[in-house]
Amino acid sequence: MGNSELEAKERIINAAVKLFAEKGFDGTTVSEIAEQAQVNKALIYYYFKSKADILDYLVQTLLTNVTKFTMDFVHPTIEKMVMDGSLTVESDQLHFRDLTASESFVNTINEYYGKLLDYALEHRQIVRIIMLESLKENEAHNNLFKMLDFSRNKDERIYSSISQVEHAYNYSNDLELFRLFFMLIPVLNFAAYCDDYSKITKFSEEVLKDSFIRSFKVIISSIIKGSDILLHNNNHPERSDEDR
């Protein structure tokens, strides 16, 4: 693909992001994307099958990049610690050999979360699109939950990488809920509303980011018990057979 073709495709993508963020996916037409990108409408169909294909491309690119730097966290942290015996991954907790190992892991996950936040802010327009579409009753384009499915898919790189070194590893229901409502959605919400909140409060983005990260550290500290990180709530009521 030549430079001119790459530039044309990039213009199409940028135009779609801008219009999807401003008008919503349903409110944007392919003709409007072509006009915004200053390309022939036929060229859009050369690169993408449909408008939905553009949205899928945007989300998949986002997921691929998140996976890449998540693997940069998994390999030197989780895999290394499991291999050297300083971490045991269980279904309901992360058990560390000692407090030093636990503190090292927490510091690393805080650093990773900061990178995740930076990436979400860098691509805040796409994040806004994902959040907007997630509120609609449209399963085909509910990419928020696709992101959750992507990370818990047993064939996906992150899941399989951890499973290779800790064969008994599996996501508990509590952990999945925690990841969605206390890790993923807060990051996406922050990225989606950071600009608006900054205008209202007059706080800079950096100040808001620092405050957000401090809040995340409080959440992480709440699930630490000694040298363990609990991934399961032992105090929840038992479910009936009908709920199981």
- The residues that bridge with 225 in the sheet, in sequence order, are 228
List per-residue pLDDT tens for the chain, 244 residues long.
Answer: 555 767 999 999 999 999 999 998 999 999 999 999 999 999 999 999 999 999 989 988 888 888 887 888 877 788 888 889 998 877 677 889 998 998 888 899 899 999 999 999 999 999 998 888 887 766 555 677 666 665 555 555 555 555 555 555 555 667 677 777 778 889 999 999 999 999 999 999 999 999 999 999 888 888 877 777 776 655 544 444 444 4
The Cα diameter of the chain in Å comes to 62
Q: 50: which residues sit within 8 A by CB, 6+ positions away? A: 30
Coil vs helix vs strand at 29: coil
**Tell me, what's the pLDDT at 182?**
79
Contacts 24+ apart (CB under 8 A), 83-87: 83/165
Rounded to an integer, what distance in angstroms lies between the CA atom of residue 222 and that of residue 69? 25
Look up the CATH superfamily of 1-48. Answer: Homeodomain-like (1.10.10.60)
Rounded to an integer, what distance in angstroms lies between the CA atom of residue 24 and that of residue 202? 27
Give me the torsion for CA of 170, 173, 178, 183, rounded to 10°.
50
Tell whether the torsion through CA atoms of 205, 183, 147 and 74 is positive or negative.
positive
Domain ranges of the chain: 1-48, 50-230
In 3D space, the residue among 197, 178, 196, 174 whose CA is nearest the CA of residue 186 turns out to be 178
